[in-house]
C-alpha cells in the first residue's frame, strides 16, 4: 500500500507513577489507538519510524442481553481487565499496544438510542449531501474489489501490537480465554512487520514456501519491498482523531468521542510472483510511488514527505505521459492536506501532511489464522502472502474518497481511463481484497462498551 504506513506517531515515552487502583487510563494518553515510545532511524537519509514487530487483531461478537444492567456490568468488567493490562504493560513496542474498536452493529443493536444522538457526525460530508452523514459508515466494495469481498458485521475488534509475542499471548488469554462470558471471538488475524537481518517478511515467507519469497529484498519492512513507515509520510500526533481538523466532525471541543477515530480493517492477498517477476525494479517504483521517479536501483526507502506530494492534476498528467499510475501519488490528493492548517489543538500542519494513520501488517493467514465461519471466509490452513490493512482516519467518507482515488476515481468526477485492476493502475493488479469492515475507536475513557452508561 502507500508509503504513509504504520499510523503511529513517534514520541519518547517516559512512564510516570503507576496507579495502585484499576483506573490506569489517568496516566495514559486519551487516545487508545496511539502507540508511544517508537524508535526512529535514518534510512537513505529519510527518518523512518520503527514499528512493533508483531500484531494481532481479534474480531468479536457479543453474547449478552441488550439491556442496561447487563451492558453496564460488562462495561465495568471489561474496563477492569483492560486497566489491569495497562498496569502490566506500557503502551510501547517493548510493552503492548492495545485498542478496542466497536462495529456499527454494536451501536445499532445494543445502544441505539444514545448512539442516535451521540455518534460523531461528518460535517463536511453532511454539508455536501444536504443531510446528516455519520463519521463512521458501513464498509463498501470498491471498483477494484472482487464481488466476493465480504463486508463484515463484527460487534467489536481488539488490536494488539508488540515486539513480544508473549505479551500479545498473555493479553489474548486475559481477554479471550473464556473468563469474559459477554463476548466470543469470530476471527484471529496475526502478522508481522520489519525485524532485523533479512527481515520478518522474507524470513517467514521463505519458511512458509510462499512463491516468490526469495525475491523479497533482504531487510524489507513488508512483502512488497518498500519502506512504508517513514515519519514524514505518516499522519502525525492526533491528526486522525475525530476532533483535530477544524470542521471535520462535531466532536470539537467536547464530544463524547473526542480523542477517538474511525478504523478501517481489511484483508488483502498479495501476489509476490506477479510483483517481482512481472515487473522490473523501475516498474515497481513507478507503480508503488509515481512514474518518472529516478531513484538508485534497489532503494527501499523513497522519500514521500509533504514536499513530494502530488496533486490530482499532476497524477492525471503523469498517467497520460507514462501510461502508469503510482499508488502513493494516486492517494495523495485525497489523503494529504491541501493547504497549511492550524488544527484545533493549535498545532501547525503544513500543506502536504498526511492525515490517515496506517497500522497494517503482513500476514501468512489465509485469510485469517482462525475463523468461526470457515465456509464464508474461504479459510485454508495453507499459508498465503497477504496484508491485514488497518488505517485510522477522521471519517469513513474521507477513507472512501482516498480508496476510490487508489482506483483512479476522484471526488471532482475525474475518472482515469483505465480499468481499476489494470497492470498500470498502481499496485492493484497484485492485490485482492477478501474482507472489509469499519469500526469506531472510542477514546480510552469510553473504550469499554461505549454509551452503555447513558442507557
pLDDT tens string 2-16: 333 323 322 222 233
* Residue-number span of the structural domain to which 383 is assigned: 24-454
What share of the chain has pLDDT > 90, as a percent? 91
Q: What is the mean pLDDT of residues 249-253?
A: 98
The answer to whether position 10 is within a domain reads no
Does residue 8 fall inside a structural domain? no
Q: What is the mean pLDDT of residues 293-315?
A: 94
Q: What is the pTM of this model?
A: 0.93
pLDDT mean over 256-271: 98
Look at residue 394 in the predicted model and tell me its pLDDT: 98
| 17 pLDDT more than 80 | no
pLDDT at 424 over 80: yes
Q: What's the chain's average pLDDT? A: 93
Query: Is residue 20 over pLDDT 80?
Result: no
Return the pLDDT at 236.
81
Examine residue 18 and state whether it is found in any structural domain, yes or no: no
Range 298-306 average pLDDT: 93
Statement: residue 43 has pLDDT above 60: yes
CA nearest to 236, candidates 390, 98, 92, 355: 355
Residue 18 has pLDDT above 50, yes or no: no
Cα distance between residue 335 and residue 259, in whole Å:
20
Q: How many domains does the chain have?
A: 1
Residues 6+ away with beta carbon under 8 Å from 141: 147, 149, 151, 436
Kindly report the number of other CB atoms within 10 A of residue 399's CB atom: 24
**Residues in Cβ contact with 343 at an 8 Å cutoff, skipping those fewer than 6 apart:** 238, 239, 244, 245, 246, 349
* Residue 3 within any structural domain of the chain: no
Helix (H) or strand (E) holding 272: helix 272-277
Q: Is the pLDDT of residue 186 over 60?
A: yes
Q: What are phi and psi of 409, to 5 degrees?
A: -115, 120
CA 31 to chain centre: 15
In this predicted model, what pLDDT tens digit does every residue of 344-401 receive, in sequence order?
999 999 999 999 999 999 999 999 999 999 999 999 999 999 999 999 999 999 999 9
pLDDT at 23 (0 to 100): 38
| HSE-CB for 358 with a 13 A CA cutoff | 25
The reply to whether 64 falls in a domain is yes
pLDDT category at 432 given cuts 50, 70, 90 is: very high
- For residue 407, with 0-12 CB atoms within 10 Å meaning exposed, 13-18 middle and 19 or more buried, which class applies? buried
Give dist(CA 199, CA 197) in Å, integer: 5
In this structure, is residue 5 part of a structural domain? no
> Is residue 166 domain-resident?
yes
**Distance (Å) of CA 129 to CA 30, 388, 397, 443:** 32, 32, 11, 28
Q: Does residue 16 lie within any of the structural domains?
A: no
Is 318's pLDDT higher than 50?
yes
Amino acid at each position: 500500500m502507500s508509503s504513509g504506513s504504520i499510523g503511529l506517531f513517534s514520541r519518547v515515552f517516559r512512564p510516570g507513577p503507576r496507579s495502585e487502583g484499576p483506573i490506569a487510563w489517568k496516566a495514559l494518553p486519551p487516545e487508545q489507538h496511539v502507540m508511544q515510545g517508537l524508535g526512529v532511524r535514518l534510512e537513505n537519509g529519510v527518518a523512518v519510524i520503527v514499528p512493533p514487530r508483531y500484531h494481532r487483531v481479534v474480531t468479536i461478537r457479543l453474547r449478552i442481553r441488550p439491556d442496561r444492567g447487563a451492558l453496564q456490568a460488562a462495561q465495568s468488567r471489561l474496563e477492569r481487565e483492560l486497566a489491569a493490562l495497562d498496569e502490566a504493560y506500557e503502551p510501547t513496542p517493548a510493552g503492548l499496544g492495545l485498542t478496542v474498536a466497536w462495529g456499527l452493529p454494536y451501536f445499532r443493536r445494543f445502544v441505539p438510542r444514545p448512539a442516535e444522538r451521540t455518534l460523531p457526525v461528518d460535517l463536511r460530508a453532511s454539508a455536501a449531501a444536504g443531510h446528516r452523514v455519520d463519521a463512521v459508515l458501513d464498509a463498501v466494495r470498491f471498483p477494484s474489489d472482487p464481488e466476493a469481498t465480504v463486508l463484515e458485521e463484527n460487534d467489536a475488534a481488539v488490536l494488539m501490537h508488540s515486539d513480544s509475542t508473549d505479551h500479545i499471548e498473555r493479553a489474548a488469554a486475559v481477554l479471550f480465554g473464556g473468563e469474559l462470558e459477554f463476548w466470543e471471538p469470530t476471527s484471529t488475524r496475526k502478522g508481522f512487520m520489519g525485524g532485523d537481518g533479512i527481515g520478518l517478511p522474507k524470513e517467514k515467507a521463505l519458511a512458509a514456501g510462499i512463491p516468490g519469497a526469495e525475491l523479497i529484498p533482504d531487510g524489507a519492512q513488508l512483502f512488497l519491498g518498500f519502506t512504508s513507515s517513514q515519519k514524514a509520510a505518516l499522519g502525525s500526533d492526533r491528526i486522525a482523531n475525530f476532533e483535530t481538523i477544524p470542521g471535520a466532525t462535531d466532536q470539537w471541543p467536547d464530544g463524547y468521542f473526542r480523542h477517538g477515530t474511525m478504523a478501517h480493517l481489511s484483508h488483502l492477498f498479495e501476489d509476490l510472483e506477479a510483483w517481482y517477476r512481472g515487473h522490473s525494479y523501475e516498474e515497481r517504483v513507478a507503480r508503488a510511488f509515481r512514474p518518472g521517479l529516478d531513484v538508485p536501483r534497489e532503494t527501499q526507502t523513497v522519500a514521500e514527505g509533504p514536499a513530494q506530494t502530488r496533486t490530482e492534476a499532476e497524477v492525471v498528467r503523469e498517467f497520460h505521459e507514462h501510461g502508469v499510475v503510482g499508488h502513493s501519488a494516486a492517494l495523495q490528493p485525497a489523503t494529504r492536506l491541501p493547504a497549511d492548517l492550524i488544527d484545533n489543538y493549535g498545532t501547525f500542519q503544513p500543506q502536504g501532511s498526511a492525515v490517515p494513520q496506517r497500522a497494517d501488517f503482513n500476514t501468512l493467514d489465509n485469510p485469517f489464522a482462525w475463523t468461526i465461519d470457515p465456509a464464508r471466509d474461504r479459510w485454508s490452513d495453507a499459508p498465503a502472502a497477504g496484508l491485514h490493512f488497518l488505517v485510522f482516519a477522521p471519517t469513513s467518507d474521507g477513507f472512501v474518497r482516498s480508496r476510490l482515488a487508489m482506483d483512479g476515481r476522484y471526488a471532482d468526477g475525474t475518472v482515469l481511463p483505465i480499468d481499476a485492476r489494470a497492470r498500470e493502475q498502481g499496485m492493484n493488479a497484485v492485490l485482492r481484497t477478501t474482507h472489509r469492515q469499519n469500526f469506531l475507536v472510542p477514546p480510552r475513557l469510553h473504550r469499554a462498551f461505549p454509551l452503555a452508561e447513558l442507557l
